[in-house]
Amino acid sequence: MCTDNDVCSDSFPHINVGKCVYYSVQGALAGKWLSGDCENETKAYICELPITRADDCKYNYNGHCYTFHDTQTAFVQAQEACEKECGNLASVTSANENRYIATLSNRLFSGNFYIGGLWPSSNVFYWFDGSAWNYNNIDPSYSHNANCIAVSNSIASSVASGLWFSIKCHIPYSFVCKRPAGTKCSGNQPIVPVTPVPPTQSFCNSSLLLSPGVITSPNYPFSYDSSDFCSYQLATLGSYNILLRFSDFATVKGVDFVNVYDGDSVNSKLLGTYTGQLDAFSLVSTGNTMLVTFKSGSGKTAQGFSARFTSYSYGR
């Protein structure tokens, strides 16, 4: 109940009339707040925007200027285009900013588009412009399978409009740039080379690997290729066993498989077959050798796996 009689009209707000409040500008109730029907009454409205800085850019919001590029290009080339405007691919640090960008992009072009987020590993996210990752709008049903981030802006997309998802960085998309409002840009800014995260050494089909060490799927932490086949021969000395711990595991479920054998060949006892997205897990051999194989199908791929192997002895 409103207690300020200078603002609210008598007996208002009144939920039986409606659950929205509007400001009357006419008649005896001019200057008062009254209740109205949120669904069926149409009225003029006023939008409140955050304070920003003066700039001649067309889209100025909360201290930043935005440009929307319908030309489709890969992530690296999109970032270079933004740097020529004295900016970067857009970081999105609040729900309001995400709504602002998603609403405008929906009007200005069709199709999904890049923002400046990178997703190099399952639980690692960062903005290319260095902003803190304090807001996340990634589709909760979408798993990590690539390293760049795009925003859904297509009716045909499997991701709801405005939500984010991972995408391979070479795929051409539209993009949104962001720069501080009020900055003077000559248009001849030096371009900072975008250096991709280098893949780790996989040791796929390598010679005998003595502990300790790390094995990964090819291209990790990027997606492995289709139709890959890898074997990893692991060994330790003497009477020690091998402890193999998978810290990251994401393959296409039911299509791409990792097999672990308790010995040096596929004729050895099979310790397990693994596929899909799994939490960290460990295996221990009964002897001083272990064989790991990885096989991918001919279609969609995923990030793959990373596993560390060390010498281990029961009871020590």
Per-residue pLDDT tens over the stretch 17-51? 777 888 888 877 787 888 888 888 888 888 777 77
pLDDT value at residue 136: 94
pLDDT value at residue 193: 59
pTM (two decimals): 0.53
pLDDT in tens, 182-191: 887 766 655 5
Separation CA 164–CA 316 (nearest Å): 48
Beta bridge partners of 277: 250
Domain 209-312 is found in CATH 2.60.120.290: yes
Give the mean pLDDT of 274-282. Answer: 93
Beta bridge partners of 60: 65
Q: What is the biggest distance separating any 2 CA atoms in the chain, rounded to whole angstroms?
A: 96
pLDDT in tens, 196-254: 555 667 899 988 999 998 999 998 878 899 999 999 999 998 889 999 999 889 999 99
User: Domain-by-domain residue ranges, the chain?
Assistant: 1-46, 59-180, 209-312
Give the H or E element holding residue 61.
strand 59-61
CATH of 59-180, one of 2.40.30.30, 3.40.50.880, 3.40.50.2300, 3.10.100.10: 3.10.100.10
Separation CA 241–CA 313 (nearest Å): 6
| Helix (H) and strand (E) counts in the chain | 2, 20
